[in-house]
Amino acid sequence: MTDFKIEEVLLTLGLKKNNNGTSTGKNSFSGTKIIKSYSPVNGLLIGEVTVTTKKDYEKVITSAISAFKEWKTKPAPLRGEIIRQFGDKLRKKKEALGTLVSYEMGKSYQEGLGEVQEMIDICDFAVGLSRQLHGLTMHSERPGHRMYEQYHSLGIVGIISAFNFPVAVWAWNTALAWVCGNVCVWKPSEKTPLCGIACQHIITEVLAENNLPEGISCLINGDASVGEFIAEDTRIPLVSATGSTKMGKIVAKKVAARLGKYLLELGGNNAIIVTPDADIKMTVIGAVFGAVGTAGQRCTSTRRLIIHESIYNQVKESLIKAYKQLKIGNPLDQNNHIGPLIDNNAVQLYTEALNKVVHEGGTIIINGGVLKGKGYESGCYVKPAIVEAENSFKIVQTETFAPILYLLKYSGDVTNAIEIQNGVAQGLSSAIMTNNLQEAETFLSVSGSDCGIANVNIGTSGAEIGGAFGGEKETGGGRESGSDAWKVYMRRQTNTINYTSDLPLAQGIKFDL
């Protein structure tokens, strides 16, 4: 894939160098400010996107409100059929969209394809769900009465997504929101706007082919100020926001102020516990991929490795050997394991984190640093680093979106390791490497990991769409994707039907007239 032409990819996805950044249903744009999208792969300009103005935004909302009136009345299986067609379009455009994801975000080509596959998978999940949106029935205490619960569409779902998964997280939200009868307004990251426009083009084709209003799927573009349009809008009952904990707290405050609902997927500070009964080879594979995959820019990236003192040196030496085999370079070249960070600001945060951990007393055992020279012209390529540290270090307590792995030592039994694992503010993903059943079950018990995801003998990164995805504490408490995560996109209603000619009151109250 190193000899690709970005112009051909853009053409396949219906894009061009200059793109309208707002889709309103009428395709009317008034913005003059633009976002320039530069590839972290080579630093070259990919294209320009119009920033959504407040006037544009109002057109978007008007379009969405109108579309909701029609969309919510469609039977759920019909909504599922539209999502099935969207999934089929994604299959046809998987290579092009995966390439754009890789080139605009910087993750490996295989990871780009994998992200599009996640979109396809959640479409399949939503299609099945379209015939399973269920409520409950229960017995009434009043004779001749029936009680049940049902779920109704909310209306407009606002989606604010992050750069590291520029298309998959949107799909996780929107596929479920659509099948539940909602319409969506999406603000993708301003760092990967072209991926958002590409997705909008694909779903617009599907809607047009089925004579459905374009407002079912709306797109806006811009920075945090544009995201505030969504957070503060009382016409949007649910806001799903993915990003940093700092961003999530701002969104939560604004949405809560108007008593809206929010779904937050925020920062992670994920750890793998390595016990004396761990398979070392399996541990190294899981730890290395978790730490350096997507250049450490996953919310589920492995940040901390908590190793028992009896095997600490063995694991450390195995990691050093593995890190020396890593290849860094153009992510479209499948011979490379690691691509660039998203931009120069991310590089600065990476450098600062390494300086801080040394200042706090950490020891760097695999040196980091910024790569320069041929193939690294963007200035966004860095070396994965390994640092011996303490969990109490301030920088270790902080999520750094970069390939830095902290080695932490524990003694005693697994409960001590779990205490270290839980001893951070974030609570997204966690894992334990052990062949000891007692240790594994302790890790999964009520006294074990406090994270939303807890794995045994696999790493912290990588999640299947069949399970609910999300975390606790400063990760936000939200759940997306599988299981019963669909319920957050709907409003619950309790119904009681009296099929008699009498009106008995609850609790036997008498009120005769």
Active site residue 218: no
Given a contact cutoff of 8 angstroms between Cβ atoms, the answer to whether 87 and 104 are in contact is: no
CA dihedral over 163, 165, 168, 171, signed as positive or negative? negative
Q: Is 8 helix (H, G, I), strand (E, B) or coil?
A: helix
* Contacts of residue 401, Cβ cutoff 8 Å, sequence gap at least 6: 164, 296, 297, 301, 341, 346, 349
Q: Is 388 helix (H, G, I), strand (E, B) or coil?
A: strand
Query: Among residues 299, 380, 439, 451, which one is catalytic?
Result: 299
What the block records as the tokens of 373 is 């020279």
Q: Is 400 helix (H, G, I), strand (E, B) or coil?
A: coil
Integer CA distances (angstroms), 199 to 5, 101, 124, 202, 428, in order: 20, 11, 17, 5, 27
Helix (H) or strand (E) holding 54: helix 54-71
Question: What does the alpha-carbon distance between residue 289 and residue 209 come to, in Å, rounded to a whole number?
Answer: 41
Q: Is 39 helix (H, G, I), strand (E, B) or coil?
A: coil
Q: Which of 289, 326, 324, 283 is nearest to 307 (CA)?
A: 283
Cα 154 to chain centroid distance, Å, stands at 21
Q: Is 352 helix (H, G, I), strand (E, B) or coil?
A: helix
- C-alpha angle 346-347-351 in degrees, rounded to nearest 5: 120
Question: What does the alpha-carbon distance between residue 227 and residue 184 come to, in Å, rounded to a whole number?
Answer: 14
Active site residue 299: yes
Length of the chain in terms of residues written: 513
Q: Is 505 helix (H, G, I), strand (E, B) or coil?
A: coil
Q: Tell me, what amino acid is at 227?
A: G
CA dihedral over 454, 455, 456, 458, signed as positive or negative? negative
Query: Among residues 111, 115, 118, 265, which one is catalytic?
Result: 265
Question: What does the alpha-carbon distance between residue 276 and residue 293 come to, in Å, rounded to a whole number?
Answer: 26
Helices (H) and strands (E) in the chain, counts: 14, 22
- Which residues have a catalytic role annotated? 265, 299
